[in-house]
A and B are shown apart, each in its own frame.
Chain A
């Protein structure tokens, strides 16, 4: 039997808090996305996969509806990007606020034993406490809207998952919310995978001060 695409290729990314980070320009102006693309490219010069994606996405992907961009960013990277976008709004480098969100298929926001949480190291595939904690912590942290869903991707009875969206409107209050939410949201994924015994996640948790054991010493 072949393992599914998540355990084989996506889970190591999840362990680093990486997942489908996305944002849209509320102005409707494609140039606002070009400005954000340049900021992201500058922020992560060593990530060759990301560089190639940004270059080619610009060339090959037509916008549908509000101009938007997606790229996979990890723990520490998302909060950095969110803060930078808030600065773009504050300083008028983009024409209107930027809305930031992600898919529910992400590191800390889904329990789906046939797909995202297939074959977890500790057998915790069907444990749905994690997406529920994710929705709760994003509510407490001040995300702009938070959702808790059932049955997405694989159908009724097979998944529980949470969504999160946060707006960068250029205010200092938004900056504080962005720092919290874009740290905690992928952080839940790092914690979830560290708890399941993945070494990469344990290293990421230590590096980003998410390891509860450090606090209990």
Chain B
């Protein structure tokens, strides 16, 4: 269950203006120091259409995580950051600037509290009422605190999880030295040589779902030198991931996809394969062929019974009609 999806998004009063809200770059200040300037640039960067999911709703990521409560609040935050002195702090209450108070130069220039509710009222229902009245905003994590940097964060988190998994389960004696990236002319000093190296080299990693979260998996797996075999019901998602270089190959035939993945596993080639099918059918075929993957995960949205889950007994076309006609 994702309670986030149950609330209706509030209709925007103003639309995002790409020119007005463009992130300043370069080394000229429009605020009174680099700290205020950094806050201004990171706030606007969070809303950059390249970064944000829905700039028109001020939504950065994660369903409904916002950078500012509404466009009026956004304009006032921008103004406040520009007038803020180097010994003052700006207070943000759920995405709205509410005060500028005297502090001192080493204090934070901005103090933010988002979506805080007294525990007894800390639920979506009450939050929704307050949001409708314009009293609150959902800040997610880095949306309302102005430090979201796009999908790199998701890829890295997934990469780190697979790397830790490889460390725990697939550590191998060292056969080669990793070559550090360095522009220095001095040789990198090594005071302790690790006895093992862990990667997913020569492993078959099966998973499902190539949406917002799952799309990071093929890249995280191949970055760890493993083979990824991923079931995705919707063909366009596979194409999109190939386009952005997150995924390497597309198959529509399950057996052909499995054969190709096994070939890469044998040769230790880091490749990712998307196969257009239901995860259940891929897993059934793996069981029938007696193939045990080295790792198995799921990143589909099957927790959402209407939008995310595709039952394997029904064709995608039929399911689509059923979703709309009889939700």
Residues of A within 8 A of B (CB): 5, 8-10, 12-13, 20, 22, 24, 26-29, 37-38, 41-42, 45-46, 48-49, 51-58, 60-66, 68-72, 95-97, 99, 101-105, 138-139, 142-153, 155-157, 161, 163, 165, 167, 169, 173, 177
Contacts and interface: CB of A to CB of B under 8 A. Distances in A.
Chain A interface mostly: mixed
A167 B23 contact: no
Interface string B13-36: 000000000010111000001110
Contacts of B179: 51, 55
Nearest to B48: A65
B38 A165 contact: yes
Contacts of A58: 181
B164 A37 contact: no
Contact of B190 (A46, A57, A61, A102): A46
Interface stretch (B104-112, B259-267, B315-323): B104-112
A156 B178 CA distance: 44
Contact of A156 (B23, B107, B124): B124
Contact of B223 (A29, A56, A99, A104): A56
B194 interface: yes
B149 A68 contact: yes
B41 A22 contact: no
A109 to B, nearest CB: 9
Chain B interface mostly: loop
Contacts of A165: 38-39, 42, 145-147
Interface-centre pick from B35, B51, B107, B163 (highest chain A CB count, 10 A) = B35
A20 B23 contact: no
Given A42-B182, A60-B246, A66-B25, 4 more contacts: A24-B42, A57-B156, A147-B92, A156-B122
B188 A45 contact: yes
Given A22-B147, A165-B146, A150 B108 contact: no
Interface stretch (B136-144, B232-240, B282-290): B136-144
B175 interface: no
A150 B147 contact: no
Contact of A37 (B112, B127, B181): B181
A41 B180 CA distance: 6
B94 to A, nearest CB: 10
A84 B122 CA distance: 42
Given A70-B149, A156-B122, A163-B141, A146 B108 contact: yes
A152 to B, nearest CB: 4
A201 to B, nearest CB: 16
B50 interface: yes
B114 interface: yes
B155 interface: yes
A104 B145 contact: yes
